[in-house]
Amino acid sequence: MPATDYQGSFLGRISIRRNQVMAMEGSHDQEVEDLELFQKHVGDRFNDLLASPTEDGNEPLLSIAWLRRLVDMFLCCEAEFKAVLLMGRDPCQISKPPLDRLVPEFLERVVKSLDICNAVSLGIESVRNFQKLAEIAVSALEHRPIGDGQIRRAKKALNSLITAMTVEDKDPSNTKSAERSWSFGRRSAAPNKERASGQFRSLSWSMAKGWSAAKQIHAMSSNLTAPRGAEASGLAMPVFIMSNAFVFVMWALVAAIPCQERNGLATHFPVPRQLPWAQPMIGLHEKIAEDWKKKEKKGSPGLLFEMQRLEKLGQSLIEFADSFQFPAEAERLQELKEQVEELADICGKMEEDLAPLQQQIREVFHRIVRSRTEILDVFEQAGKLSSSTV
């Protein structure tokens, strides 16, 4: 069943069940079944992502198309998580231990993810610039007959492309303003209601000079401890699952898309392997982490599949340009034609998928802002109910 289909079925099931008057002895069994179904859906979605790079060559791991599937999967999981946590539930249930501690910690991760969403959106703008430079080279190298003028124009664009990717990957702040407007106010120790229209403003197109994507991911992954004992069969588990989904998705986006200060991006993922839903998540993490270690060792410009292809083709075409002599041999021209066609194909896919990916990132931003506000509302209701019973 497609993700959106069983998401709709799952949400409908919870809505109907919690609006029915049920016998108390049956409600606990239904609750456990809902939690198990949520875990299964998360595991199934990550399994699909783990399988797709090998089964479908059109969506390699960390390609733009694959990242779009990742974000779509995350949005489905987030909708189901919110239903499990909030839909038709007594507010007092999530204001008691251990949720009175776990939910505020989860909301802190939500806040940190907002900065990452904006950093990724900014990184996508950089990738668009790389695409434009590659398109200049394609335009020049497709010209027939090809001469010294076209070669010089293409070489200049390709040199700019390789330099831009290297500079952007090492320190994007070198090419952008260091000023920014924060998307949220300072958090107090206890969860307080903050309206999306006020405290949560979309960031300006720049990040603070000292902001670090690697440190932000590290902060999100700290204090992640799996529930034990009776807590493992209650609402603490979906909070733990969704916290890990947040960390993984944001980590994968940062690894793929140029973001400010990625050096030292953590490659350890503290999820117990025995949890069924965790296996595909860990499998994906290990694949990406291995590539990241190679990337840091070689100093190549990031893990986005299309960027890696641009780098490889760009360097090869620069070598061709350096050794070009007019008239070129037929064999060399055929080799050039094949590489230019591949470069044009990559540019076409980037043109098609970058804007939708950026729109999905914005949707994630606004979705989690709304969800955070709704959870804070429930905390506020629980506080009022507690006060009225005293």
Spatial separation of the C-alpha atoms in residues 187 and 194, rounded to whole Å: 10
Locus of tokens 């949220």: 184
- Confidence class for position 53, pLDDT limits 50, 70, 90: low
Range name among 154-163, 170-179, 265-274, 335-344 with the lowest pLDDT average: 170-179
Measured distance CA(130)–CA(160) in Å, rounded: 9
pLDDT greater than 90 at residue 1 = no
Q: Is the pLDDT of residue 357 over 60?
A: yes
Query: Which range, of 42-56, 57-71, 229-243, averages the lowest pLDDT?
Result: 42-56
The residue type of 320 is: F
Using a 10 angstrom Cβ sphere, with 0-12 exposed, 13-18 middle and 19 or more buried, the burial of residue 141 is buried
CA–CA distance, 102 with 332 (Å, rounded to integer): 62
Q: Tokens at residue 74, please?
A: 């995350």
Whether 97 is in a domain gets the answer: no
What local confidence, expressed as pLDDT, does residue 199 receive?
Answer: 40
**186: confidence class by pLDDT, cuts 50, 70, 90:** very low
Whether pLDDT at 216 is above 60: yes
Kindly state whether residue 389 falls inside one of the protein's structural domains: no
Give me the pLDDT at residue 89, please.
86
pLDDT-derived band at 296, boundaries 50, 70, 90: confident
Q: Is the pLDDT of residue 374 over 90?
A: yes
Residue 337 CB partners (closer than 8 Å, separation 6+) = none
Distance between CA 32 and CA 11 in Å, rounded? 15
Q: What pLDDT, on a 0 to 100 scale, did the predictor assign at position 297?
A: 74
**pLDDT tens digits for 74-112?**
999 999 999 999 988 888 888 899 999 999 999 999 999
Question: Concatenated DSSP letters for 114-148?
Answer: HHHHHHHHHHHHHHHHHHHHHHHHHHHHT-SS--H
Task: Identify whether 314 is part of a domain.
Answer: yes
pLDDT for residue 168: 65
The values of phi and psi at residue 260, to 5°, are -65, 130
Q: Is the pLDDT of residue 12 over 70?
A: no
9-13, 50-54, 219-223, range with the lowest pLDDT: 9-13
Is 329 among the domain residues?
yes
Helix, strand, coil in percent for the chain, rounding step 5? 70, 0, 30
CA pair distance 373, 380, nearest whole angstrom = 10
In a domain, 14, yes or no: no
Q: Which residue, among 383, 72, 99, 134, has the nearest Cα to 236 in the 3D structure? A: 99
Count of the separate structural domains present in the chain:
1
Residue 203 has pLDDT above 70, yes or no: no
Please report the DSSP string for 214-236 in residue order: HHHHHHHHTT-----GGGGGSTH
* Strongest mean pLDDT among 55-69, 185-199, 313-327: 313-327
Instruction: Output the average pLDDT for the chain.
Output: 84
Q: How many residues belong to the chain?
A: 390
Of the candidate ranges 86-90, 232-236, 267-271, 320-324, the one whose mean pLDDT is the lowest? 267-271
pLDDT band at residue 171, thresholds of 50, 70 and 90? Answer: low
- Domain assignment present for 212: yes
Confidence of residue 169 (pLDDT cuts 50, 70, 90): low
Do 343 and 134 form a contact (C-beta atoms < 8 A)? yes
Residue 88 in domain: no
Instruction: Give 312-323 pLDDT, tens digit per residue.
Output: 999 999 999 999
294 pLDDT more than 80: yes
User: Does the pLDDT at position 205 exceed 80?
Assistant: no
- CA separation, residue 95 to residues 31, 91, 181 (Å): 18, 7, 32
Structural domain including 309 reads: 57-71+104-182+200-365
Distance CA 297, CA 292 (A): 9
Domain membership of residue 378 (yes or no) is: no
